[in-house]
Structure 1
């Protein structure tokens, strides 16, 4: 089977700019979550969220910037870092053998909300002429393809919270099948606006704002968990066949070794342990590994009451009781929805390379720790050769990705 290397990592999130900034914050337990104002006019309660505060593409000319939704600008930032680390020239040396695979849940939802606001408040009603190209789910992938001349394939995946993880997995198979030698993969999301926050609040899965400690509003696997906090950001990876990377003298950061995808086909929003277990088992089979080979799992861990319990059950079914260290990093960077899988895979690769496991932050007591070996408190040193990242989505889509040391 064709071996696929990860040769570049990039990230931008509420924890800062850069894949190292992400890893440093996770290991230190530093939260990017903060209090966001509500809106009395729209009956939106103040809420906790993890917002990106770094400037995005500050030197871009206004005429060019008009083509981008915020999630597209986030994509550019993360992809630029990954591409630079890979050591590739500005554009792909062989464009017809270079692909892009990008995931997003709601793509240009920020631009959509702006267009609705203009439609209902402006007189005469008017929306921006680039609204359509800002909103479309493949906009970020298209911008990246043009920037780096990626012409072999463009995969734009919108599968809720599994979007970017699935995009990465499908790109892995694309390279193994010989359709391309390399791919720029990842995801981006930006939905910290009134319409989105209202929707999540109405669904009853958003954590209430912790008035005393807003940064601790999200508590995955904690007994007092009350829901997710939204985050925004992007993450990118450059993946290449080992033969392609060796030929140009590239150094592998890790191996993208396994991809498993399953569908619950049970319920639109309630997760299913059996479906999740099928995805993890499929990823192990794809990587040619046994459960005992996995030294760390970055859990989907959204901090919902049902979601965390079901994931603990599914991990136990595949790996056994407390058989592998587990942590959920959404407590610190928030839930990036479609981009979450990519960001958490970057975090997983960093844990593997540093041989240090980030803790699940803000856990006080956890009955679920009787089922899984939950990393809490301080970061944990570990000697591991393989790690798994889980992404489970509304609609019942489950993805597990496995990385190994090169």
Structure 2
């Protein structure tokens, strides 16, 4: 059963949705100096921060999530007093940054605030249920899959799939340990990439069933054709080609499409030593019989790696391409790595190509993979 997308909102280092789409079209990078932490001690000095108050709010991710959910639901035109509306939030870290700050004077935290039920109910008090899933960097892709399942099972009239994460000192320390020198900019698929940099933000999309009268009054923005999942548990951090390929083929089967039907891939493309060549090889394999193959882009060179919200941010970009906007170029990509040379990478300037079906890749630690197939509104 096709699921209609009737609302979408994202928050990135550039601001809300439209500001983000404009920045992507212009090839801008949102990387800047780290705030709120001791960068010298961490071995990381840059990141892609959401611009908010100078003083670090305790529950920043919850604030962005609330804003995105409220905006997406308003776009959908759903009467939340009459319809059964559920919310699924994907996250990699929940509110871990708040836990890290518990030794600061005056900081208190309740366990319930680590999840996102309270944040969602601030703007959607009549939600039938709020579920938080913690599935690493593919979390919001898994939230989208669960949202589709809930609609299939008639557990809701509409489901908001969402994702959010804020930077944490713990994750920054980890990436600082695996780089020989601090990374200046995330460079997806680039032969001279130096590693990942963290971003932060939130995203939300509203789904309704496509086989019954609409719950909301807003326009249909696109469709979820299917979401493919895999969990290969190959390694704590290293990706496995077999598991990634399995998720892609599962997505194509669920969406009832062939590789030749896919016009655009919004890649995971983290700018890391292992992910980029692995993803490039798998894309070349899966689309080997689909010449000339889809155009391939990725947004993390502009937004940083936004962890739990990354999949749905890429879905929002795919929806723009499906609506006729040019496909943004890959910010930071100058010379493709050898494994990516067979791909139709969007380099240097946006690509004006017809897009009817888009694929969105999201891969997480432990081989937790989600691949979303998105179609246009018509």
Q: Compute the TM-score of the two structures, normalised by the length of structure 1.
A: 0.86
Q: Give 5+ residue unaligned stretches, structure 1.
A: 57-65, 211-216
Aligned residue runs from structure 1 range 186-197, under 5 A: 186-191=162-167, 193-197=168-172
Cα 1:180–1:269, aligned 2, differ >3 Å: closer, same or farther? same
3-state secondary structure, aligned to 2:99: helix
The answer to whether the 8 Å contact 1:152/1:179 transfers is no
Q: 1:353-404 CA distances to partner (integer Å, 9 max, x unpaired)?
A: 1342111112121123323111111000011111011000001111000110
Q: Give 5+ residue unaligned stretches, structure 2.
A: none
Q: 1:238-260 CA distances to partner (integer Å, 9 max, x unpaired)?
A: 11112556355442100111100
Residue 349 (structure 2) aligns with: 378
Q: Which has the higher helix share?
A: 1
Residue 341 (structure 1) aligns with: 311
The answer to whether the 8 Å contact 1:263/1:397 transfers is yes
The answer to whether the 8 Å contact 2:329/2:348 transfers is yes
The answer to whether the 8 Å contact 1:102/1:186 transfers is yes
3-state secondary structure, aligned to 2:254: helix
Q: 1:221-242 CA distances to partner (integer Å, 9 max, x unpaired)?
A: 0000111110010011111112
The answer to whether the 8 Å contact 1:92/1:148 transfers is no
Given candidates 146, 149, 155, the residue that maps to 1:179 is 155
Cα distance in 2 for residues equivalent to 1:111 and 1:390: 29
2:376 aligned with 1:405: yes
The answer to whether the 8 Å contact 1:92/1:149 transfers is no
2:233 aligned with 1:262: no
Q: 1:113-163 CA distances to partner (integer Å, 9 max, x unpaired)?
A: 110x33xxx5xxx751x34232x2x3x244314532454443211011011
The answer to whether the 8 Å contact 2:90/2:308 transfers is yes
Q: 1:54-101 CA distances to partner (integer Å, 9 max, x unpaired)?
A: 459xxxxxxxxx9x7111001012112212211234x3422xx22111
Aligned residue runs from structure 1 range 154-303, under 5 A: 154-191=130-167, 193-202=168-177, 204=178, 208-210=182-184, 217-243=185-211, 246=214, 248-303=216-271
2:94 aligned with 1:107: yes
Cα distance in 1 for residues equivalent to 2:215 and 2:36: 54
3-state secondary structure, aligned to 1:399: strand
Cα distance in 2 for residues equivalent to 1:356 and 1:400: 22
Aligned residue runs from structure 1 range 37-48, under 5 A: 43-48=41-46
Cα distance in 2 for residues equivalent to 1:111 and 1:271: 29
Q: Compute the TM-score of the two structures, normalised by the length of structure 2.
A: 0.92
Q: What is the root-mean-square deviation of aligned Cα atoms in Å?
A: 2.5
Given candidates 67, 70, 82, the residue that maps to 1:93 is 82
CA deviation after TM superposition for structure 1 residue 206, in Å: 9.1
Cα distance in 2 for residues equivalent to 1:389 and 1:280: 9
